[in-house]
Amino acid sequence: MIKDIHYFEELSSTQDYAINLAKNGAVEGTLIIAKRQTKGRGRKTKSWFSPDGGLWFSLVLRPKILPLYIPKLNLCMSLAVIQAVKEIAGINVSLKWPNDVCFSERKLGGVLVEMEANRDSVQFVVIGIGLNTNLKLGDFPLALRQKVTSLQNEIGSPIDNFIILEKILENYERMYATFKRDGFLPILKDIRKNCSLLGKRVRIIEDEDSESKGNRAIEGYALDIDEDGALLIRPDSGNLKKIFSGYVEIL
Ligand code: BTN
């Protein structure tokens, strides 16, 4: 799957660099890795703390699918990261739908998917992954310290970033092939198994670009992730709701 690797000691953001390469024709399988980022980005234009020690990379894909299926690739990558962490670090991490990798409700990593597409076809997708591998809790800004963790913090020793990267890519390659051949269902089974929200009471703030243009908090029970990769919520009032993307808090 990996056709071209660009490694940097420092980059503003692997995501921005990868998007720029993709706009200029980079092939599917172009991988950008940075030892540190000076302007790492998370979802919703949040900044992403990414000094030396963590694993920060972006991958260019050119899937021949409808743009509407892209959130499923996001979930596949989250699962690839979760399985790699379980296999290499041996700790029980879970998915906080749609894109957070957590250990005991503390954020360990995240996935950011961005694309250039029109209604019917995708020109390119860039999937960015940030994983707090060898960071100490004290390295994080105070405002984040209660909400985050790192692999080193949880297992007590550093981990080889390249071994974990290799495992994530191996897992993702397998899922991407399954996705293209058999669709999303075979992968969804494992996503559900690894999702920490199902059966819990949650508060969710829908993204503004969601179909219902909600952008208000909904409280209720998270029931399932459906075949579109959407989260099904039974709100305290009203009918079952299908959320395509948003920010979720476990209550
Ligand atoms: C999130 O949880 O909000 C997603 C975080 C994604 C961060 C990664 S680090 C590598 C890549 N480059 C960036 O600027 N962002 C992504």
Ligand 1 site, residue 98, Cβ cutoff 6 A: no
What is the Cα–Cα distance from 54 to 132, expressed in whole angstroms? 5
Tens-place pLDDT, residues 79-89: 999 999 999 99
Identify the three-state secondary structure at position 113.
strand
Distance (Å) from CA 234 to ligand 1 centroid: 30
pTM, whole model, 2 decimals? 0.95
Ligand 1 site, residue 43, Cβ cutoff 6 A: yes
Quick one: average pLDDT of 7-21?
A: 98
pLDDT of residue 209: 60
- Measured at the CA of 102, the angle between CA 172 and CA 164, to 5 degrees, comes to 40
pLDDT of residue 45: 85
pLDDT of residue 216: 74
Instruction: Return the minimum-mean-pLDDT range out of 49-63, 70-84, 209-223.
Output: 209-223
What is the Cα–Cα distance from 248 to 206, expressed in whole angstroms? 8
Tens-place pLDDT, residues 169-223: 999 999 999 998 999 999 999 999 999 999 999 999 887 665 555 567 899 999 9
Distance (Å) from CA 175 to ligand 1 centroid: 21
pLDDT of residue 85: 98
pLDDT of residue 213: 52
CA distances from 204 to 3, 47, 97, 162, 197 (A): 38, 21, 11, 35, 11
- The answer to whether residue 126 scores a pLDDT higher than 90 is yes
What does the mean pLDDT of the chain come to?
94
pLDDT of residue 211: 52
Tens-place pLDDT, residues 155-174: 999 999 999 999 999 999 99
Ligand 1 site, residue 14, Cβ cutoff 6 A: yes
Instruction: Please identify, by atom number, the ligand 1 atom nearest to the C-alpha of residue 110.
Output: 2
pLDDT of residue 214: 52
Ligand 1 site, residue 149, Cβ cutoff 6 A: no
Distance (Å) from CA 49 to ligand 1 centroid: 9
Ligand 1 site, residue 40, Cβ cutoff 6 A: yes
Instruction: Please identify, by atom number, the ligand 1 atom nearest to the C-alpha of residue 48.
Output: 7
Instruction: Please identify, by atom number, the ligand 1 atom nearest to the C-alpha of residue 41.
Output: 14
